[in-house]
Amino acid sequence: MFEQQMTLADAMTAHQSGRLAEAAAGYQSVLRQRPTDPDALHFYGLLVFQRGESLDAVKLIMQSLSHAPGNPHAWNNLGNVLATQDKLAEAKEAYRRATLLAPTLSEGWYNLGVCVQDEGAFAEATAHFRTAIAHQPGLLRAYESLGRMLYRLGEYEQAAQIYSAWLQRDPENPIARHMAAATSGTNVPARADDRYIATTFDRHAAAFDDNLQRLGYRAPELVAATLAGFDAPGASARVILDAGCGTGLCGPLLRPCCARLVGVDLSAGMIEQARRRGGYDELAVGELCAFMRARPAQFDAIVSADTLVYFGALEEVCSAARFALRPNGVFVFTVEALLGTGNAPHQLQVHGRYAHRDSYLRAVLEASGFGILNLHRETLRMERHQEVIGHLVTAGATLP
C-alpha cells in the first residue's frame, strides 16, 4: 500500500513539474494496480486534457466521480473540460454540483458565473462572481468579470467600486487601471495605456470579427467609402496607411483604392488575424503615432476606423498623421461623438472608450495643418440595443 501511494505521489509531482510523459506512466501504473482509484483517474484525466484529448479526459474524470461522487474539485474540472467542448449545459451542471458540495469553492462559483453569463443571465452571473470574491478575495479575474457584468446591468457606481478594488489588489494591471478611471471618472489618462490596448485586443482577436458583426459595425465601410469617393489625381497609385488596422476589416475595402496598403496595430494578435485575411503589402506591430513619425511624407492617405476612440487628446496623433502624409494627402477617421452640453473637448466613457466633441476635432485638426473637408455624424454600431453615434471626419493635409 505504501509503495502504491508513493507511486501516485510521484506521478502527481511529475505532473505538477510538467513532466507529462513520466506522470502518465505513473498514473497508468497506479491504475493497473487499482483500476478504480478516483484520484489517479481524476489526475490522469486532467493530464489527458492537457494533451488535447478532451473526450478521453471526460471519460476518465467521470469514472473518477463514479467512485468518489463527493469530490467537488473533480466536478469543477469536469465542467472545465466540458466547457471547452461547448457543452455548456453539462458544464453548468458540473459546476453546480461542485458548489453544492463545497460552498466556499471560489473557482466553482467563478466558473458557474461564466457559464450563466454566456447564457445572458447577467444578474445571476453577478451574484456568482460576488460569491467567488467573498470566499477568495485574491481571485483577480473575478473582479474583471464582475465589473463587466455590472456595466452590462447599468450599475456603473458598483462597477467603479469593483474595478477600484481590483486595482488596489493588482495596481500594475492596465485593464484594472483603465476601467477604474472610465467608470469612476477619476485619474483619467490623456489616452489609453498601450498595455491596456495590446492586452485587451490580443485577448479578443480570435472572436473580434464575429462580435463586431453582431453589433452591426459600420466604421470600416464608412471610412473606405469616403476614401473611394475622394477624387484625387493618381488615386490608383496611392499608398495608404490603415492606422490601427485590427483584424484587417478595412483591408479588402481599401485594396481597390491604392497601389500599396500598409497596416499597423499595437496588438500582435490582431495583426496575425489581418495577415490571415490578406490584402496588405506590409503589416507592423507598433504604436501608431511612433509608426507615423518614423514614416515622414510616405502616405497619400491615412484611414483609422474606430482607433482614435482610445485617445482622449488628439494633438499628437493628428500631428503625427500630418507628418506622415504627403502634400494634399487625406486623413479619414471615425471617433465616437461627445454629445450634449458642456465644454469638455473629450471624455472617457464608462465603457472604456473616449468620445470627442466636433468643435475640438475641428480645432485640433486645423492646428495640426489640416483643412476640414467633411465632418458629420454617423451610426457606427449598436451597443446595449442603442445606436453608437460617431463623427466621420475627412481632413486634407494643407500645403506648408
- With helix as H, strand as E and coil as C, how does 287-306 read? CHHHHHHCCCCCEEEEEECC
Angle, CA of 16, 77 and 174, to the nearest 5°: 75
User: Per residue in 226-247, pLDDT tens?
Assistant: 998 876 656 667 999 999 999 9
Q: What is residue 215's predicted lDDT score, i.e. its pLDDT? A: 80
From the centroid of its chain, how far is CA 237?
Answer: 35
User: Per residue in 194-211, pLDDT tens?
Assistant: 999 999 999 988 888 887
Q: In this structure, are residues 176 and 143 in contact, taking their beta carbons and an 8 Å threshold?
A: yes
Closest CA to 227 of 246, 206, 211, 243: 243
φ/ψ bin of 112: left (φ > 0), alpha (ψ from -120 to 50), beta (otherwise): alpha
Q: In this structure, are residues 173 and 166 in contact, taking their beta carbons and an 8 Å threshold?
A: yes
How far are the Cα atoms of 28, 76, 95, 167, 192 from residue 135, in angstroms, in the given order? 36, 16, 16, 19, 32
Helix (H, G, I), strand (E, B) or coil at 385: coil
Overall residue count recorded for the chain in this entry? 400
From the centroid of its chain, how far is CA 181?
Answer: 18
CA distance 124 to 129: 9
392: Cβ contacts below 8 Å, ≥ 6 apart: 222, 223, 226, 332, 334, 374, 375, 376, 377, 378
What the chain holds in terms of domains, given with CATH numbers, is: 2-184 (1.25.40.10), 202-397 (3.40.50.150)
Instruction: Answer yes or no: is pLDDT of 341 > 90.
Output: no
Number of Cβ within a 10 Å radius of residue 206:
13
User: Per residue in 141-187, pLDDT tens?
Assistant: 999 999 999 999 999 999 999 999 999 999 999 999 999 999 999 99
Angle between helix 38-50 and 2-16 (nearest 10):
20
Instruction: Answer yes or no: is pLDDT of 5 > 60.
Output: no
